[in-house]
């Protein structure tokens, strides 16, 4: 104890300036509160808000609608916390994968998927994922931390800035790394901001079905679309590939989804990964159809993307079998689509996002003997 007390305080770093407050992630009200001591007129708050989120300004210097003096004052106290682009890989099909480095060194991936002039941004809600689904590379690498609302919104703004895209016409899907409903407060904050410039109909939250999170989401004012990762038509098989099913089994998930408030004309989306010989038979399609009966829903079939870390069983069915599965669902009256594989050549496809390169040295993922 004494030794600790007399230990000299040494630091190799120069004293740092007081931390500037990050404006990204603040709601309109919060922004008004933190800007109040600095701005001269209330409408300046709206100008800053629009510059930040609608225009995606990276710097106060870009906010030329404000006086020079105000820009300097803002820059002295605040920052715009856009993440650094650690790497960027563009696929032959135009899909572009970003690795962002956050202020504490955590890294997250996000993907821009262009399609006929439309862009869908697939963004992360956590750096890593604790759910350990057996088919997903993010889960293989293990848990990370929750992102803040600002860190979520910043992914959208950073990709937009890099790709020079306007806010109009964008789709955003929470299908990157992490489980959005295990970080429900940040996701709510991010959705609140994103829906200022993107319609909630163009935003989709994808979840394994965390029931307390679903109950929260049911109360949101501007609700995005809901996609549920199902992947198997019965408890036993779902638990085998998604350990979370033991906590929130289908027997509780389906009734919760039947209670979930859907606006008129909207549908739930069910994501169903097709794994050869595991869940891809016509009987499975029938069982899936029975499971969903009574729900307003469509089914998105996703041929599993194999990855060396996932082992040899994660193989997609042949095209004929995938087609036959889809047709069977259609015969039973469901809207069923097959998700095309995108960004495959840069490991940007579904379930291939990881916080660390596979080659990362010294990182002890599950495969490296971590419990
Ligand atoms: N945790 C949420 C959000 C991540 S979304 C969720 O699971 O819904 C990730 C989407 O990609 C999910 O539909 C997931 O099931 C799918 N996915 C994961 N691994 C995959 C793989 N190897 N091949 C194809 N899709 C995969």
Domains of the chain by start residue, with CATH:
21-79 (1.10.150.530), 84-346 (3.20.20.70)
Query: Which residue has a Cα nearest atom 26 of ligand 1?
Result: 351
CA 212 / ligand 1 centre spacing (Å):
20
Phi, psi for residue 18 in degrees, rounded to 5? -55, 140
The pLDDT > 90 percentage for the chain reads: 71
Tokens representing 224 are 């995005």
Instruction: Report how far residue 222's alpha carbon sits from residue 199's, in angstroms, rounded to the nearest whole number.
Output: 9
Length of the chain: 371
Instruction: Report how far residue 99's alpha carbon sits from residue 354's, in angstroms, rounded to the nearest whole number.
Output: 9
Tokens representing 335 are 């809207």
Instruction: Report how far residue 215's alpha carbon sits from residue 68's, in angstroms, rounded to the nearest whole number.
Output: 47
Cβ neighbors of 247 (< 8 A, separation 6 or more) are none
Coil vs helix vs strand at 51: helix
Any ligand 1 atom below 6 A from CB of 148? no
Tokens representing 172 are 């955003």
Q: Is pLDDT above 70 for 35?
A: yes
Any ligand 1 atom below 6 A from CB of 136? yes
> Each residue of 61-90: pLDDT tens digit?
999 999 999 999 999 999 998 888 999 999
Asked whether 214 and 181 are in contact (CB, 8 A), the reply is yes
Which range is least confidently modeled, 137-141, 173-177, 218-222?
137-141
Any ligand 1 atom below 6 A from CB of 229? yes
Any ligand 1 atom below 6 A from CB of 269? no
pTM above 0.85, yes or no: yes
Catalytic hit among 122, 129, 136, 350: 350
Q: Is pLDDT above 80 for 238?
A: yes
Instruction: Report how far residue 213's alpha carbon sits from residue 206's, in angstroms, rounded to the nearest whole number.
Output: 12
Q: Within the chain, where are the H helices?
A: 2-6, 28-35, 43-49, 68-77, 137-141, 149-163, 184-194, 211-218, 235-241, 250-259, 282-291, 319-331
Cβ neighbours of 266 (radius 10 Å): 14
Instruction: Report how far residue 83's alpha carbon sits from residue 81's, in angstroms, rounded to the nearest whole number.
Output: 6
Catalytic hit among 109, 151, 179, 271: 109
Q: What is the pLDDT of residue 17?
A: 56
- The residue whose CB lies within 8 Å of the most ligand 1 atoms, and thus the one to mutate among 302, 340, 353, is 302
Q: What is the pLDDT of residue 43?
A: 93
Q: Is pLDDT above 90 for 318?
A: yes
Tokens representing 17 are 């300036």
- Residue 71 CA neighbour count, 13 Å, CB half: 13
CA 179 / ligand 1 centre spacing (Å):
10
Tell which phi-psi region holds residue 301, choosing left (phi > 0), alpha (psi between -120 and 50) or beta: beta
Mean pLDDT score, 88-106: 91
Tokens 């970003």, residue? Answer: 98
CA 118 / ligand 1 centre spacing (Å):
22
- Residue 168 designated active-site: no
Q: Please, which pLDDT band fits residue 360 given cuts at 50, 70 and 90?
A: very low
Any ligand 1 atom below 6 A from CB of 95? no
Rounded to 10 degrees, the C-alpha dihedral 311/176/86/361 comes to -30
Q: What is the pLDDT of residue 142?
A: 87
Cβ neighbors of 306 (< 8 A, separation 6 or more) are 314, 315, 316
- Residue 122 designated active-site: no
The pLDDT > 70 percentage for the chain reads: 90
Q: What is the pLDDT of residue 16?
A: 53
Q: What is the pLDDT of residue 9?
A: 40
């Amino acid at each position: 104890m004494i030794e600790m007390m007399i230990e000299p305080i040494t630091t190799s770093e120069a004293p740092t300036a007081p931390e500037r407050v990050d404006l990204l992630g603040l709601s309109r009200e919060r922004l008004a509160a933190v800007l109040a001591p600095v701005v001269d007129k209330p409408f300046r708050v709206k100008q800053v808000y629009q510059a930040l989120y609608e225009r995606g300004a990276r710097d106060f210097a870009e906010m030329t609608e404000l006086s020079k003096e105000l820009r300097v004052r803002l820059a002295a106290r605040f920052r715009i916390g856009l993440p650094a682009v650690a790497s960027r890989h563009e696929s032959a099909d135009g899909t572009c994968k970003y690795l962002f480095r956050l202020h504490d060194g955590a890294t997250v991936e996000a993907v821009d998927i262009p399609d006929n002039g439309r862009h869908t941004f697939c963004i992360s809600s956590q750096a890593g994922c604790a759910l350990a689904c057996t088919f997903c590379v993010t889960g293989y690498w293990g848990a990370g931390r929750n992102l803040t609302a600002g860190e979520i919104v910043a992914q959208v703004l950073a990709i937009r800035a890099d790709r020079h895209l306007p806010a109009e016409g964008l789709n955003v899907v929470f299908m990157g790394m992490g489980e959005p409903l295990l970080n429900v407060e940040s996701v709510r904050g991010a959705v609140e901001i994103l829906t200022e410039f993107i319609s909630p109909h163009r935003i989709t939250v994808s979840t394994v079905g965390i029931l307390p999170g679903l109950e929260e989401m049911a109360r949101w004012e501007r609700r995005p679309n809901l996609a549920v990762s199902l992947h198997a038509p019965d408890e036993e098989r779902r638990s085998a590939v998604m350990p979370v099913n033991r906590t929130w089994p289908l027997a509780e998930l389906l009734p919760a989804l039947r209670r979930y408030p859907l606006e008129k004309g909207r549908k739930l989306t069910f994501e169903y990964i097709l794994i050869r010989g595991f869940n891809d038979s016509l009987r499975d399609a029938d069982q899936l159809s029975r499971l969903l009966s009574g729900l307003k829903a469509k089914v998105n079939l996703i041929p599993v993307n194999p990855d060396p870390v996932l082992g040899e069983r994660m193989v997609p069915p042949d095209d004929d079998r995938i087609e036959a599965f889809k047709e069977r669902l259609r015969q039973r009256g469901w809207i069923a689509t097959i998700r095309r594989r995108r960004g495959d050549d840069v490991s940007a496809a579904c379930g291939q996002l990881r916080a660390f390169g596979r080659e990362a040295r010294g990182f002890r993922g599950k495969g490296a003997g971590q419990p």
